[in-house]
Amino acid sequence: MLLPLGLGALLAAIALRGGGGLQLKPTTEVEMALEIGGGVVAACALLAGRDRRAAYGMPALLCFSALVALTIASVLWSVNPSDSWLEASRTLSYVVVFGVAMVFARFAPQRWAALVGATVVASTIICVYALLTKVFPGALNPDEIYARLRAIGLMAALGAPGCLWLGARRDGHAAISALAYPALGLMILTLLLAYSRGGLLALLIGLGLWFALVPLRLRGVAVLATSATGALLIAIWAFSQDGLSKDRMPIDQRASAGHELGLLLIVMVALLLAAGLAIGFAAARRAPRSDVRRVAGVAILVALALVPVVAAVGLAFSTRGLGGSISHGWKQLTDPHASTPPNDPGRLTAVGSVRARYWNEALKIFRDHPARGVGAGGYATVRPRYRNDLLEVRHAHGYVVQTLADLGILGLGLSLLALVAWWVTAARATGLRRADRGRPYTPERIGLLTLVAVVVVFGVHSFVDWTWFVPGNALPAIIAAGWIAGRGPLRRNAAALARPPLRLARERWRLAAGAAAVLVSLIVAWAAWQPLGSLNSSNDALAALERGDVNAARSLANHAHNRDPLALDPLTVLAIVETRSGNREAAQRDLENEVQMQPANHETWLRLADFQLNQLKRPKEALRSLSAALYLDPRDPMTISAYLQVAAQVSGKPVAGAAAVAPAAGSTGPPAPAQPPESG
């Protein structure tokens, strides 16, 4: 019990600490911990490894590592090398976690149940916390203006396959298995209150796969139907409450409705737990006959197969007909100009999404840079050139389109190669090959199939959202995938895979290799820390400048630049410092260096244009810089207005619509970066 609780709590802590993966400080801390921990695990595996068995899963690990190498190499051609380095650190930490899971699968294969249980524990903790923000909004989430729970849908969906396993398993105590009922109810309710269409789609596909592969269908239906009923009843009530379903509601109204929700949650958990205990003990006392279970399993599979048929019949009798409904839905899904669904419960049944706009822009970027893309993380920098709106978007909301834009065909090819290599090992480990037909469904095999469903849930959701960049969502799926890859063939049972008691190896080469693994992990963690250290030094330099200590500010800014030569912030701060000290030539060099580092970034051209206009009094040079900025971001009203203003100044003719948006002539330096420093 302690191992799944501990691992699940660790995954939940990582999810809560890492957040959405957009803030530099928490993301860096998580990555460093994973990388150092991976080095320690690798060293221990080397020191304890006396097994000469084949290293199962190595093809998948090597393909994953090749993707990491490409991500690192993309710094050389990236439009934003700084962001590419951040993505390289993120992807490297992921491959470390994948390898660590393979190591544990090899050294402790009998602990598979702890991993499945950990997905349930982690998802339950996150869902409980999310629901508590609705129950106690004043204490936990007073500044939230949106009614729906945001960025939580996938985490709820990832725990659902494990709940089916926990509630449907034949082994284990019935009282423990009964906990799956309230846990799954909380997950489904969280998913509904998040209005997460992508999460629902991933959940339906993942659960459909589980029912198709796992023979415990009758037990699984009991868990799913009971839990879903309780969750749906509360969700319907919550959708009717303005304090829970409408945006920008007063805090007192949110709190009143939230307290009522809390009481209903207590009742739901109690009833679902009682139902789980009753069903579990009844099944243990008088289990259905084998022929009844077989008929029920076939009926469930037939019902799953009829779902698309029923949906097609319903569409055929709609006003648009089957073909018209499909055509309309596809247009709403893929049309970049389709209307965005409202932020209310009706969002769950809407097809249109702003994602189509992001996908379309990513594909345009890919068509202009098909071979190797614009560099990892470069989508956010290049997107303003292609957008038709004023939204600030960092991700393309889809792994495939994001990878095509960032790493081109080469990146997507390596991703597909890694997927194929993993699927081959997964099929071998779970008995999905033709040669394994007829093998018994042992508890371990059912658990491994559940982990496959977890990976599929994450993969489906990553296709339609940017969850790859969120550590809390990605790590449970990566750990599950790594465990499956390192498990080995199904024909090798747990007894054959079990190792003798571990003894410290005395070979010198193992000691040296273990020390080298720890040293490499420390170096990698140090490299991941540099962007954050550089940002801290840049902020310290600005603070010193506010105090009037120009020399200290210059020293700190140079230190920040030496720590992370790829970052723009240190150069911007240096330009401000040199401008304040009267050294305009040095400030100009710093801003020109920014442009040389990221010529495809419109912000570097804007800062240079501001300096040329307001400090050097050279409007013609400023106009050329603004022309470049306008080419890179033709929709930004501030850039358009500044260009018109400077063009009027150069030509001596007033231009209608030009507004004075440039800083005053007395400004002491170029403007600070547009994004807050903490956003990275």
Residue written as tokens 């690990």?
61
Q: Is 535 exposed, middle or buried (0-12, 13-18, 19+ CB in 10 A)?
A: buried
| Complete DSSP assignment for 30-91 | HHHHHHHHHHHHHHHHHHH----S--TTHHHHHHHHHHHHHHHHGGGT-SSHHHHHHHHHHH
Is pLDDT of 678 > 90? Answer: no
- Candidate from 310-324, 531-545, 595-609 with smallest mean pLDDT: 310-324
Are 322 and 312 within 8 A, CB to CB? yes
Mean pLDDT score, 390-396: 86
Helix pair angle (355-368, 399-430), 10° resolution:
90
3-state helix, strand, coil in the chain (%, to 5): 75, 0, 25
Is pLDDT of 497 > 60? Answer: no
* 126-145 as b/e: b if 16+ CB within 10 A: bbbebbbbbbbbeeebeebe
Instruction: Give me the pLDDT at residue 613, please.
Output: 92
Distance CA 272, CA 264 (A): 12
Instruction: Give me the pLDDT at residue 334, please.
Output: 64
CA distances from 168 to 28, 438, 541, 643, 646 (A): 39, 21, 59, 66, 71
Is pLDDT of 286 > 90? Answer: no
Instruction: Give me the pLDDT at residue 663, please.
Output: 42
Distance CA 130, CA 124 (A): 10
Is pLDDT of 676 > 50? Answer: no
Distance CA 206, CA 203 (A): 5
Nearest to 67 by CA among 415, 459, 478, 419: 415
Mean pLDDT score, 358-374: 93
Are 590 and 578 within 8 A, CB to CB? yes
DSSP secondary structure code for residue 149 in this structure: P
Instruction: Give me the pLDDT at residue 333, please.
Output: 63
- Candidate from 112-126, 263-277, 347-361, 417-431 with smallest mean pLDDT: 347-361
> What is the chain's length?
680
Distance CA 57, CA 63 (A): 10
Mean pLDDT score, 387-409: 91
Is pLDDT of 662 > 90? Answer: no
pTM above 0.85, yes or no: yes
- Candidate from 206-215, 502-511, 590-599 with smallest mean pLDDT: 502-511
**What is the torsion angle, in degrees rounded to the nearest 10, for the CA atoms of residue 619, residue 622, residue 628 and residue 631?**
-50
Q: Which two tokens stand for residue 370?
A: 């098909």
Distance CA 66, CA 578 (A): 43
Q: Which two tokens stand for residue 102?
A: 């393979």
Instruction: Give me the pLDDT at residue 98, please.
Output: 96
Distance CA 205, CA 546 (A): 56
CA distances from 469 to 20, 89, 91 (A): 8, 11, 9
Q: Predicted confidence band at 80 (pLDDT cuts at 50, 70, 90)?
A: very high
- Give the type of residue at 638: M
Is pLDDT of 287 > 70? Answer: no
Nearest to 184 by CA among 111, 264, 93, 276: 276
- Candidate from 325-334, 514-523, 549-558 with smallest mean pLDDT: 325-334
Q: Predicted confidence band at 6 (pLDDT cuts at 50, 70, 90)?
A: very high
Domains along the chain with CATH numbers: 2-338+357-497 (no CATH), 510-679 (1.25.40.10)
Distance CA 508, CA 510 (A): 5
pLDDT digits over 11-66, tens only? 999 999 988 888 899 999 999 999 999 999 888 887 876 555 557 889 999 999 99
Gyration radius of the chain over CA positions: 28
Mean pLDDT score, 117-133: 95
Q: What is the share, in percent, of the chain residues with pLDDT greater than 70?
A: 85
Nearest to 126 by CA among 156, 146, 154, 149: 156
3-state secondary structure 271-321: HHHHHHHHHHHHHHHCCCCHHHHHHHHHHHHHHHHHHHHHHHHHHHCCCCH
Q: Which two tokens stand for residue 13?
A: 């802590």
Q: Predicted confidence band at 665 (pLDDT cuts at 50, 70, 90)?
A: very low
Are 116 and 450 within 8 A, CB to CB? yes
Instruction: Give me the pLDDT at residue 99, please.
Output: 93
Of residues 55 and 421, the one with the higher pLDDT is: 421
Instruction: Give me the pLDDT at residue 496, please.
Output: 53
Q: Which two tokens stand for residue 238?
A: 């919550």
Of residues 491 and 526, the one with the higher pLDDT is: 526
- Candidate from 133-147, 291-305, 352-366, 611-625 with smallest mean pLDDT: 291-305
Is pLDDT of 454 > 70? Answer: yes
